[in-house]
Structure 1
Amino acid sequence: MMATPAKSAFAALMNSSAERHSLVDDAQGVVSGSMLAVLGITLLSSAGLLTGGTPGIAFLVHYATGFSFGLCFFAVNLPFYYLAFRRMGLAFTLKTFIAVALTSAMSEVLPRALGLTHVDPLIGALFGGLVIGAGLLALFRHRASLGGIGILALYIQDRFGWRAGLVQLGFDGAIVACSFFLASPFIIACSIVGAVVMNVTLAVNHRKDRYIAM
């Protein structure tokens, strides 16, 4: 019995295997990863901390200019989509654009919804870094990222075999160093702790030999 077009379309949406995610798998991965990232960003922001990657650049611009984090985050990612398309393909670029857009939009809503009034900087760094790392891990495993440095780190991992978490850690160190112009030494130290927690989470868990689905 031949499958109807409707059944074929449903199968394309739902069917997954050990080697490949379905469209529904990818959708929940991108949304879940973005939600986790926003929660971590909110914890960092509530503690006055920074981080690495394009979120770190967005934090620097946000603290220096007063523009909203969501707007800064969306804007700083725009130059990286060409690299994403050329090096990682259309599907990766589209999923990354969606993840960045979701993260930018939710970062404007979640702080008001949670109503956090005080977050200890060290606690914010530990939990924020861990949650952002988990969000990035979900995005990476569905061939997406939060843009910018994440795109570059994934490309370097695919091209040279260097772990994405360690590559991003190097870039993050440079970004956090720029925060010496905007924050106290204690806040910078806590920000570095958060960046290390985030990237160690990625380095330990994001390995191509342990997770092969695309």
Structure 2
Amino acid sequence: MTTMTTTPFKHTTLEDVQAILIGTILAALGVNLYTSASLLSGGTAGLAFLAQYAFPFSFGEVFFVINLPFYYLAIRQIGWEFTLKTFASVFLVSFFADITPKFISFDGLNPIYASLVGGFLMGAGFLMLFRHNASLGGLNILARYLAQTRGYSIGKFQMVVDCIIVFMAVFVVDIEAILLSVLGAVALNLILAVNHKPGRYSGF
């Protein structure tokens, strides 16, 4: 029997740039689906959604600011390359999330569709970023750190934490929105749990 081995390869700068650009555009589109349906997600994005619904701030403004404290952990535990790519990714999602409504609207949007497709879009965006040594900050940084140091599954860890955060939103949105948000959290993290496993992807 012949055993095939795969040697990890390093992405080029151009590959990193296109992945971060496209990944953040996908994530921002998912964010706008959620915003249009008044849904939530987990992590720092979930906190940004809550602040957006409760206060006169945009998602992008809150999301960018709330991620700032997590860069210290990223620098100390993961490194400067990851931190700089993550900072760029957070900035781009914040920017794209706020300008996307200028180009597209979602009148008559079905909330179940928004939950599933929005979750898939954000999950695909996260996956692209993870595979190019970046993330969207916050709990993504913690999840990445635990995956590297303890061998935890990023998708499973975030699924548990995200569901807890969504349930905490009971004081901000109605129960239907919370249930649909849990569905979206499962859809998002299903992408990561299925596709982001040790040894499955050889790029870094």
Aligning the two structures, in what range does the TM-score lie when normalised by the shorter sequence?
over 0.9
Determine helix, strand or coil for the equivalent of 2:68.
Answer: helix
Gapped runs of 5+ residues in structure 2? Answer: 1-6
Deviation at 1:115, TM superposition (A): 2.1
Distance (whole Å) between structure 1 residues aligned to residue 172 and residue 109 of structure 2:
19
Distance (whole Å) between structure 2 residues aligned to residue 54 and residue 160 of structure 1:
22
Distance (whole Å) between structure 1 residues aligned to residue 172 and residue 13 of structure 2:
42
Q: Quick check: 1:183 aligned with 2:173?
A: yes
Q: Quick check: 1:106 aligned with 2:128?
A: no
1:88-124 deviation per Cα after TM superposition (whole angstroms, max 9, x unaligned) = 1000000000000001011111022102223211110
Map 1:3-152; keep pairs closer than 5 Å.
18-152=8-142
Distance (whole Å) between structure 2 residues aligned to residue 45 and residue 37 of structure 1:
12
Query: Which of the residues 129, 132, 157 maps onto 1:167?
Result: 157
Distance (whole Å) between structure 1 residues aligned to residue 121 and residue 43 of structure 2:
15
Aligned match of 1:207: 197
Gapped runs of 5+ residues in structure 1? Answer: 1-16
Distance (whole Å) between structure 2 residues aligned to residue 131 and residue 115 of structure 1:
16
Aligned-pair identity in percent equals 45
Distance (whole Å) between structure 2 residues aligned to residue 102 and residue 164 of structure 1:
22
Distance (whole Å) between structure 1 residues aligned to residue 138 and residue 27 of structure 2:
15
Contact 1:54 1:73 in 2 (8 A): yes
Distance (whole Å) between structure 2 residues aligned to residue 139 and residue 204 of structure 1:
16
Distance (whole Å) between structure 2 residues aligned to residue 66 and residue 211 of structure 1:
42
Distance (whole Å) between structure 1 residues aligned to residue 199 and residue 65 of structure 2:
34
TM-score of the aligned structures, taking structure 1 as reference length: 0.90
1:176-206 deviation per Cα after TM superposition (whole angstroms, max 9, x unaligned) = 0111001111111000000000001101000
Give the counterpart letter for 2:137 in structure 1.
Answer: G
Give the counterpart letter for 1:184 in structure 2.
Answer: D
Determine helix, strand or coil for the equivalent of 1:145.
Answer: coil
Determine helix, strand or coil for the equivalent of 1:48.
Answer: coil
Give the counterpart letter for 1:40 in structure 2.
Answer: G
Distance (whole Å) between structure 1 residues aligned to residue 113 and residue 69 of structure 2:
33
Flag the structure with larger Rg: 1
Query: Which of the residues 141, 157, 160 maps onto 2:147?
Result: 157
Higher helix share: 1
RMSD between aligned alpha carbons? 1.1
Contact 1:47 1:118 in 2 (8 A): no
Give the counterpart letter for 1:23 in structure 2.
Answer: T
Poorly superposed stretches of 4+, deviation over 4 Å: none
